[in-house]
Amino acid sequence: MNPGEIFEIEALHSAGTYAKQPLAIVRGQGAILIDEDGKEYLDCTSGHGVANLGHAHPKIAEALFKQASTLITLFETYPNDQRAKLIAKITSLIDGLDRVFLCNSGTEAVEAALKFSRLSTRRTHFVAAMRSFHGRTFGSLSATFNKKYRQGFEPLVPGFGHVAYNNIEALENAVSGETAAVILECVQGEGGVYPASADYLHAARRICDAYGALLILDEIQSGFGRTGKMFACQNYGVTPDLLTCAKSLAGGIPMGAVLIGRKVKNLTPGVHGSTFGGNPLSCAAANAALSVMEEEDLPAQAEAKGNYLMGKLKKLASPQIREVRGLGLMIGIEMKQKAAPYLIKLQEKQILALNAGMTVIRLLPPLVISYDQIDHLVSVLAEVLNFETG
Ligand SMILES: *Cc1c(COP(=O)(O)O)cnc(C)c1O
C-alpha cells in the first residue's frame, strides 16, 4: 500500500475518534519509527508510554513466536506456566502487594481497582485529583477530571469527587468514613506532567489509613522503569493498596494489571473477571519484557538519561519556556503558548512528541533511547523553541 491509500482508507473507515497525523508508520527499531518511504523519526511518544523497551525488541518477538506456537489462549480458571511465572515475578517487584488481577488495558485495570475498592470497603465514594487521567470507560472516566473527556457522556458513575492535586488540606477535607478509595497518579501524565510532592503522597497514605479508605495509585503511564524506579511510588517510599499498571507491562502487547495489597478484602470467585485476562501469550510477552527491564536495567537507564535530558532542557534559555519538570524519562516542557504548533515543527524535523494539556510538550521516549539521540532531540528542540521567538 502506498501512503496515499493508507491515509484515504483510515480517513474513510476509522471511527473518527482520532486526529490522524499525516504520517503512515510501518516499522520501528529501538527509539526509531519508520514511515512507508523509509524516513526515520525519533519516537518521543512511545505510544503514550507503551514502548519503554523500544520497538521490535528481539526478545519480545522471540517470546511471542514461541508462545504462539505453544498456547495462545487459556481462561484464568486453568493455571498456566507463563501466568504463574508472571504473577510470581510482578508481585515480587514491590513489597506489600502480593496478589494481582490481570486484564488487557489501562482502563480495565482502573475499573477493576474501583470495583475492588467498593467490594472491599462496602463504601461507594471515591476521591480523585483535578487534572487526573484514568481512562475512558465509565468508571475510569468518572475518576478522570478533564471536561474534554467527560463531556457528552454524562451521567457518569456517581460518588466521585475531585480535589486539587498536591494539596494536602484539600485531600484531608474530601476524605471521610464514606470514602472507598483515593485514586492518584504519582506523576500526572495527560494532565501536564506534574510529579506529586513526597509530602503529598505520604499524606495521602496517612489520610487513607486514618479513614479506612484504600489508596489506589495509577501507574499506567509512570510504571515499569519510566520514572527511574520500577514503579514511580518507589521513588517516594509509598505503597498503595491497589496499583494499576498496563502500557509497557508486556513490551507493547495489550495487557493491564492491578497489584493488590493485604487490606483489600472480599475478592472471591466470580466477583470480577476478563475473558482475555491472563492469557498465556500476553503473559509470555510480559515475562520477556520484565526480564529485559532487569537485564538492561531500564529503571536505572531512565533515571540517568532523564537527569541528563532534564539538565540539558533546563539550560535551554528559550523565553518561550515557562517550566521544565518531570521524573526520569517522563518529562514536560511547559510553554507560554500552545504546544501544538511546536509539535508540528518537531514532526517536520522528524521528532515525534506529545502534548499534555494545551501548553505542555511531553517527552516519553523509549527508555533505550541513546545519548546521541537525546543530544539530537535537544538540539532540534533548541532550534524549534527559539524559532518561535522570531
Ligand atoms: C493511558 C492511561 C490510562 C488508560 O489506559 P488505556 O490502556 O488507554 O485504557 C489510565 N491511566 C493513566 C495514568 C494513563 O496514562
Q: What pLDDT score does 231 carry? A: 98
Determine the distance separating the centroid of ligand 1 and the alpha carbon of 137, expressed in angstroms.
10
In the structure grid, which three cell numbers stand for residue 19, read together?
486526529
| Contact by Cβ (8 Å): 33, 25 | yes
Tens digits of residue pLDDT in 59-105: 999 999 999 999 999 999 999 999 999 999 999 999 999 999 999 99
Asked whether residue 248 carries a pLDDT value surpassing 80, the answer given is yes
Known catalytic membership, residue 297: no
Confidence category of residue 1, pLDDT binned at 50, 70, 90: confident
H-only helix segments in the chain: 3-13, 46-49, 58-68, 81-90, 106-121, 138-143, 147-150, 168-174, 198-211, 280-295, 298-314, 340-348, 371-387
**What domains sit in the chain, N to C, each tagged with a CATH number?**
3-56+297-384 (3.90.1150.10), 58-295 (3.40.640.10)
* Partners of residue 184 on adjacent β-strands: 217
DSSP conformational letter for 234: G
Determine the distance separating the centroid of ligand 1 and the alpha carbon of 253, expressed in angstroms.
14
Q: What pLDDT score does 390 carry? A: 46
Tens digits of residue pLDDT in 162-181: 999 999 999 999 999 999 99
pTM for the whole thing? Answer: 0.98
Q: Whose CA is nearest to atom 8 of ligand 1?
A: 106
Determine the distance separating the centroid of ligand 1 and the alpha carbon of 101, expressed in angstroms.
16
Determine the distance separating the centroid of ligand 1 and the alpha carbon of 134, expressed in angstroms.
6
Q: Give residue 166's identity as a one-letter amino acid code.
A: N
Question: What whole-number distance in Å separates Cα of residue 32 and Cα of residue 22?
Answer: 17
Q: Which of 220, 231, 355 to mutate to test the pocket of ligand 1 (most atoms within 8 A of CB)?
A: 220
DSSP conformational letter for 327: E
Task: Point out the catalytic residue in the list 116, 133, 145, 231.
Answer: 133
Write out residues with Cβ below 6 Å of ligand 1: 48, 105-107, 110, 133-135, 185, 189, 218, 220-221, 246
Asked whether residue 33 carries a pLDDT value surpassing 90, the answer given is yes
DSSP 346-381: HHHTTEE-EESSSSEEEE---TT--HHHHHHHHHHH
Residues 6 or more apart whose CB falls under 8 angstroms from that of 313 comprise: 324, 331, 333, 378, 381
Residues 6 or more apart whose CB falls under 8 angstroms from that of 13 comprise: none
Three-state SS at 323: strand
Q: In ligand 1, which atom is closest to the CA atom of 132?
A: 13
Tens digits of residue pLDDT in 275-301: 999 999 999 999 999 999 999 999 999
Question: What whole-number distance in Å separates Cα of residue 199 and Cα of residue 177?
Answer: 22
Burial zone of 60 (CB within 10 Å; 0-12 exposed, 13-18 middle, 19+ buried)? buried
The CA distances from residue 167 to 132, 147, 173, 174, in Å, are: 14, 21, 10, 11
Known catalytic membership, residue 133: yes
Known catalytic membership, residue 247: yes
Tens digits of residue pLDDT in 118-130: 999 999 999 999 9
Tens digits of residue pLDDT in 355-387: 999 999 999 999 999 999 999 999 999 999 986
Q: What pLDDT score does 83 carry? A: 98
Q: In ligand 1, which atom is closest to the CA atom of 140?
A: 10
Q: Which of 46, 52, 104, 107 to mutate to test the pocket of ligand 1 (most atoms within 8 A of CB)?
A: 107
